[in-house]
Amino acid sequence: MAIMRIENGPRMSQAVVHGGIVYLAGQIGAPGEDAGTQTRAVLQSIDHLLAQAGTDRAHILQATIWLADMADFEAMNAVWDEWVDTKNAPARATGEVRLATPAYKVEIVVTAALPE
């Protein structure tokens, strides 16, 4: 079974497709922006990568959301709630972690299925 790598770099690929499943790397927004703005940028990136893989947000199976500060939970959720396909909402977990740099407030990782 073939493996497709999307936006492959020397350290990592932004997405990998194998066996009908799309695995995205953690997506981040512009450092220093507020949590809502970063979330919006992350979700645009997710849409872009899923499209390159041949799928979309309606096929997301799972999302893991990392926040640098749980105080940003409401701001992130406000943007998420506008974006998510409510008829096909994925399984989701959200937690507080220290991200790669304090300028990042949100990182989201998703796994999606390819359409049948």
For 1-116, strand residue ranges (E) read 4-8, 13-18, 21-24, 27-28, 60-67, 91-96, 106-113
Residue 10 CB contacts under 8 Å (≥ 6 apart), including other chains: none
> By residue range, what is the domain housing residue 102?
4-113
Please tell me the predicted confidence (pLDDT) of residue 116: 87
22-59 residue pLDDT tens? 999 999 999 999 999 999 999 999 999 999 999 999 99
The DSSP letter of residue 12 is -
User: Distance (Å, rounded) from C-alpha 33 to C-alpha 36?
Assistant: 8
Q: Is the pLDDT of residue 94 over 90?
A: yes
Tokens of 38: 């970063």
Read off the CATH number of the domain in which 22 is found.
3.30.1330.40
Q: Is the pLDDT of residue 16 over 90?
A: yes
Q: Is the pLDDT of residue 73 over 90?
A: yes
Closest by CA position to 61, among listed 27, 92, 18: 92
How many domains would you assign to the chain?
1
